[in-house]
Amino acid sequence: MDLAFVERFAREWAEAWNSHDLERILAHYTDDVVFASPGIVRLLGDPSGEVHGKDALRAYWAAALSYLPGLRFTVEDVRISVGTVVINYRNERGQSVSEVLAFREGLICRGLGAY
């Protein structure tokens, strides 16, 4: 994983979110992805804060997109670790958010949204 990949990925990732095209967003994730977020607790009422698998992630994000029709991400910076990328961005409310994304074979296999 190098800086060029990470910068391109972050741009494509944000464009996918800003398009609100759920399948375009999900194309960045493995079928067995695990994703954790406080939004899962709030929106789905799941105290674990995690969803497991692309189908569960699809259901969560479909609910989130319908709840936040004005959703928009603006990437502020990206950081690289070992097999992991951190995307720092602002959402449509101006809130600072970080996504910690672990990769396997070019796709996200584990993600964590930090608000």
Q: How much is the pLDDT for 78?
A: 96
Q: How much is the pLDDT for 105?
A: 94
Q: How much is the pLDDT for 1?
A: 81
pTM: 0.93
pLDDT tens for the 115 residues of the chain, in order: 888 999 999 999 999 999 999 999 999 999 999 999 999 999 999 999 999 999 999 999 999 999 999 999 999 999 999 999 999 999 999 999 999 999 999 999 999 999 9
Q: What are phi and psi of 44, to 5 degrees?
A: -100, -10
